[in-house]
Amino acid sequence: MPDSPDKPETKARAQKSADKALTKKSPKPRKKRSPKPSGPTPQWYKYLMFGCMAVGLLWIIVFYVTQGQFPLPILGNWNILVGFGVAILGFLMTLRWRG
């Protein structure tokens, strides 16, 4: 004899699953983040950002063209790292730039 959906066991099982669905905790609301400042970035930020990129590039170019006599001869080849550091600072600033 096939199982009929009218059996009390089947009804009880269906009722339990319906109760579980209703009693599940609703997801907790996420904490709201502080709103990010909207609008464009101030004008000085753009000048500083592009200025850092240009100064870093010029630092490296001057170091190579003068064969290490400028910008700071005491640093030696570390001048390359200084130039890249300043340029990378400018590129990292682009992450916060809003047109």
- List the chain pLDDT tens, one digit each, 99 residues: 565 556 666 666 767 766 666 666 666 777 777 776 688 999 999 999 999 999 999 999 999 999 999 999 999 999 999 999 999 999 999 999 998
Tokens matching residue 60: 């490296």
> What are the residue ranges spanned by the domains of the chain?
41-99
* Contact yes or no for 17/51 (Cβ under 8 A): no
Put residue 31 in one of left, alpha, beta given phi > 0 → left and psi -120 to 50 → alpha: beta
pLDDT attached to residue 4: 59
Residue 98's contacts (CB-CB under 8 Å, 6 or more residues apart) are 39, 40, 41
pLDDT attached to residue 2: 61
